[in-house]
C-alpha cells in the first residue's frame, strides 16, 4: 500500500459515513472469517449506536451486496480487467459495496463513488483509492441490464445459466431449483427473482400468550396469509417489541410456522398420549411454537439438540413451556420409543432460506448435499423407530433439493414397509401445493422460505 500523505491523515480524522463503514466492516468479517452477516451487523449497529436511517442504509447495503455478490464480482472483473481473486480483499469489499449502490439502488453515482473512494483513502491511501475510483466510474457507465446482456450466457443457448447470472445465484443452485420446479423456465425465473429480494420480517404469535391479531395491532404489522400465528412486520427492529422481549412472540418465517403447526394438527390413529418429540430442535423457534401448542393440548415435548450452545438458546426460548431440552445426537439419544408425534426438521443445505442468509448461496457447494443426505436418512430412520404405531413423523427441510426431500423420504419408505406417507396438503392452509403427497413451499408462490414437509405414519 502507498505511504500516507497529509490529505490521507486528514481524511482519517474526519467522520466517514457510519452506515457505509458498518456495511464494509460486516462484508469484511464475512470474507475473512466466514461470519454470517445477519449475526455480525445487528451487533455492530448496537455497539456503534447506529440507528434510524443510518441503520436502515447499512442493512440494505450489507445484505444487498452479499446477496448479489456473484453478479457484482463478474461486473467488477470486467471493469477492472482482472479476476476478483487478484484484487486485494480490503479493496474488493469496498468495490462490491460501491458497485451494489451503482447497480441496485437509487443512490446517485457521485455519492456511491465518492464515499467508496473515501473509505479506501482513509485506510489504504491515494493509490488504491485511485484504482477503486477508476473501476467504479467504469461500472457506472452502464446499468445492470446492459452489463447482464454483455456478461451473462445467452437465453437461447443456456436459459438456466442466464437466469442464474441475472438473479445472482450459483448455477448449480439454479439447476436444483429448475429440477424441483419440473423443468419450467418461467417458474425458475419467478423463484430466483423472489429469492433475490430482501424478505420481510415474519413474526410468530405464540398461541396461549398472544393472538396474531393482537400482535399485529401492537407491532403495526399485518396478519399473515397462511399461518394463523403469523404477522408480517413492515419495518423496524423486532427485538424492540414488548411482545418479543417478553417471549409472547418471536421472529420466525411463516413456512417454519406451518411445519410446526402440521405436527400438532396431523391426525394420529388412536389416542394422543401427549408424547411429542422435536429431534433437531436448535435454535428453538419450532420447539417454542410446538411447545405452546403442546401446552394447549396437554402434551409434553422432548427437544433434542446436539450442540450445548444451541440447547441453551432453546431453553431460553421455551421457558414456561412443557418442553424438556436434552443435549444429544438425535440418532442415538437413548429415547424410549412410543412418541405420538415427531418433528424432524433435519439439518440441510438451507437452499430454501437463501434470501434470509444472503452470503450462504456463495458458500454452499454441491458436495455439501451428499454428506447431509446420509445424515438425513439416518435421522429419519431413527424417527421411524421412535414413533408409535399410529403415530406421525413430520420430516421437513429448509431446502427444495430433491436429494434432501423426496429422495430421502422414498429411500426410508422403501426400507420400512410398515410406514406409509400420508397427504400433507390438508395440514397446510395455503394454495398451490402441487400434486402431493408432500408439500413444497416457495417464496414466489407462498411468500415463505422454500420449506419442504412430508408426513409419515407408522401403520398399526
How far apart, in whole angstroms, are the C-alpha atoms of residue 415 and residue 248?
Answer: 42
Q: C-alpha cell of 294? A: 403442546
Residues 129 and 187 in one domain: no
pLDDT of residue 11: 55
Band the pLDDT of 350: cuts 50, 70, 90.
very high
Is 283 assigned to a binding site?
yes
Rounded Cα distance between 59 and 301, Å, is 37
Domain final residue, candidates 162, 178, 196? 196
> Range of 61's domain?
9-144
255 marked as binding residue:
no
Q: Is 234 exposed, middle or buried (0-12, 13-18, 19+ CB in 10 A)?
A: exposed
Q: Under a CB-based contact definition with an 8 Å cutoff, are residues 97 and 113 in contact?
A: no
Q: Does 78 share its domain with 97?
A: yes
**Is residue 323 in a domain?**
yes
| Upper half-sphere CA count for residue 61 (Cβ side, 13 Å) | 32
Q: What are the residues whose beta carbons fall under 8 Å from the beta carbon of 433, sequence distance 6 or more? A: 425, 439, 440
Cα–Cα dist 264/426, whole Å: 13
In a domain, 67, yes or no: yes
How many domains would you assign to the chain? Answer: 4
How far does the chain reach from its first CA to its final CA, in angstroms? 73
Instruction: State residue 14's pLDDT score.
Output: 58
> Tell me, what's the pLDDT at 4?
45
Q: Indicate whether 292 and 356 sit together in one domain.
A: yes
Rounded to two decimals, the pTM is 0.92
Q: 263 and 367, same structural domain?
A: yes
What grid cell was written down for 139?
Answer: 461500472
What CATH number does residue 331 fall under?
3.40.50.150
Q: What is the CATH number of the domain that holds 229?
A: 3.30.70
Residue 243 lies in a domain: yes
Mean predicted lDDT score pLDDT of the chain? 95
Q: Is 398 a catalytic residue?
A: yes
- In a shared domain, residues 275 and 241: no
Is the pLDDT at 8 greater than 70, yes or no? no
430 belongs to a structural domain? yes
- Do residues 270 and 417 share a domain? yes
Residues 6+ apart with CB under 8 A from 60: 105, 198
Residue 315 lies in a domain: yes
**Pick the residue with more confidence: 440 or 10?**
440
Question: In this predicted model, what pLDDT tens digit does every residue of 384-441 receive, in sequence order?
Answer: 999 999 999 999 999 999 999 999 999 999 999 999 999 999 999 999 999 999 999 9
Count of Cβ atoms closer than 10 Å to residue 32 Cβ = 11
Report, as an integer, the average pLDDT of 287-297: 97
- The C-alpha cell 426431500 sits at 405
Residue 1's pLDDT is 43
Domain boundary among 126, 144, 162: 144
Q: Decide: helix, strand or coil at residue 106.
A: coil
Report whether 133 contacts 118 (CB < 8 A): no
Q: pLDDT grade, residue 230 (50/70/90)?
A: very high
Task: Give the tens place of pLDDT for each residue, 297-318.
Answer: 999 999 999 999 999 999 999 9
Minimal CA–CA distance to 38: which of 356, 362, 399, 285?
356
Domain presence at residue 118: yes
pLDDT tens digit string along 79-90? 999 999 999 999
Percentage of residues in the chain with pLDDT exceeding 70? 97
Annotated catalytic residue, options 398, 430, 439, 453 = 398
Helix (H) or strand (E) holding 392: strand 387-397
Does residue 1 lie within any of the structural domains? no
Is there a cis peptide before residue 124, judged by omega within 30 degrees of 0? no
Q: Which of 196, 231, 266 is the last residue of a domain?
A: 196
Same domain, 185 and 213: no
Integer Cα distance of 27 and 67 in angstroms: 11
Angle value at C-alpha 361, between 360 and 363, nearest 5 degrees: 65
Is 88 annotated to bind a ligand? Reply is no
Q: Is 234 annotated as a binding residue?
A: no
Same domain, 437 and 304: yes
Q: Are 292 and 354 contained in the same domain?
A: yes
User: What 3-state DSSP class applies to 402?
Assistant: helix
Clarify whether residues 91 and 214 are in a common domain: no
The reply to whether 312 and 371 lie within a common domain is yes
* 3 is a domain residue: no
* pLDDT score of 237: 84
The kind and range of the H/E element at 340 are strand 339-345
What pLDDT sits at residue 336?
A: 97
Q: Is 348 annotated as a binding residue?
A: no
Q: Are residues 243 and 386 in the same domain?
A: no
Amino acid at each position: 500500500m502507498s505511504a500516507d500523505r497529509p490529505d490521507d491523515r486528514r481524511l482519517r480524522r474526519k467522520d466517514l459515513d457510519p452506515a457505509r463503514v458498518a456495511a464494509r466492516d460486516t462484508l469484511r468479517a464475512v470474507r475473512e472469517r466466514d461470519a454470517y452477516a445477519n449475526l455480525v451487523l445487528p451487533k455492530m449497529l448496537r455497539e456503534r449506536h447506529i440507528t434510524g436511517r443510518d441503520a436502515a442504509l447499512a442493512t440494505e447495503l450489507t445484505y444487498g451486496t452479499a446477496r448479489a455478490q456473484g453478479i457484482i464480482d463478474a461486473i467488477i472483473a470486467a471493469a477492472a480487467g482482472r479476476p476478483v481473486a487478484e484484487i486485494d480483499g480490503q479493496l474488493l469489499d469496498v468495490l462490491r459495496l460501491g458497485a451494489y449502490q451503482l447497480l441496485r439502488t437509487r443512490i446517485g453515482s457521485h455519492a456511491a463513488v465518492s464515499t467508496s473512494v473515501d473509505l479506501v483513502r482513509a485506510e489504504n491511501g491515494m493509490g488504491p483509492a485511485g484504482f477503486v475510483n477508476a473501476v467504479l466510474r467504469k461500472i457506472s457507465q452502464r446499468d445492470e441490464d446492459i452489463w447482464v446482456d454483455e456478461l451473462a450466457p445467452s437465453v437461447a443457448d443456456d436459459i438456466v445459466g442466464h437466469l442464474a447470472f441475472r438473479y445472482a445465484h450459483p448455477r448449480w443452485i439454479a439447476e436444483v431449483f429448475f429440477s424441483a420446479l419440473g423443468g419450467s423456465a418461467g417458474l425458475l425465473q419467478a423463484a430466483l427473482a423472489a429469492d433475490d429480494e430482501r424478505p420481510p420480517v415474519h413474526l410468530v404469535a405464540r398461541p396461549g400468550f398472544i393472538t396474531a391479531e393482537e400482535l399485529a395491532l401492537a407491532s403495526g404489522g399485518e396478519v399473515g396469509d397462511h399461518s394463523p400465528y403469523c404477522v408480517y412486520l413492515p419495518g423496524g427492529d423486532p427485538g424492540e417489541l414488548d411482545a418479543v422481549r417478553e417471549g409472547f412472540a418471536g421472529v420466525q418465517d411463516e413456512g417454519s410456522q406451518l411445519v410446526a403447526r402440521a405436527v400438532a394438527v396431523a391426525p394420529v390413529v388412536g389416542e394422543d398420549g401427549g408424547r411429542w418429540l422435536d429431534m433437531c430442535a436448535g435454535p428453538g423457534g419450532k420447539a417454542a411454537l410446538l411447545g405452546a401448542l403442546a401446552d394447549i393440548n396437554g402434551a409434553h415435548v422432548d427437544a433434542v439438540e446436539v450442540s450445548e450452545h444451541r440447547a441453551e438458546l432453546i431453553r431460553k426460548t421455551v421457558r414456561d413451556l412443557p418442553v424438556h431440552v436434552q443435549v444429544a445426537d438425535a440418532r442415538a439419544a437413548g429415547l424410549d420409543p412410543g412418541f405420538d408425534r415427531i418433528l424432524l426438521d433435519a439439518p440441510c443445505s438451507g437452499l430454501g432460506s437463501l434470501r434470509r442468509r444472503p452470503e450462504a448461496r456463495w458458500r454452499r457447494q454441491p458436495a455439501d448435499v451428499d454428506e447431509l443426505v446420509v445424515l438425513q436418512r439416518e435421522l429419519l430412520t431413527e424417527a421411524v423407530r421412535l414413533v408409535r404405531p399410529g403415530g406421525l413423523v413430520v420430516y421437513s427441510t429448509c431446502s427444495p433439493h430433491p436429494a434432501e426431500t423426496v429422495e430421502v423420504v422414498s429411500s426410508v419408505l422403501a426400507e420400512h414397509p410398515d410406514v406409509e406417507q400420508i397427504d400433507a396438503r390438508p395440514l397446510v392452509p395455503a394454495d398451490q401445493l402441487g400434486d402431493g403427497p408432500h408439500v413444497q413451499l416457495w417464496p414466489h408462490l407462498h411468500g415463505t422460505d422454500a420449506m419442504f414437509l412430508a408426513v409419515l405414519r407408522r401403520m398399526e
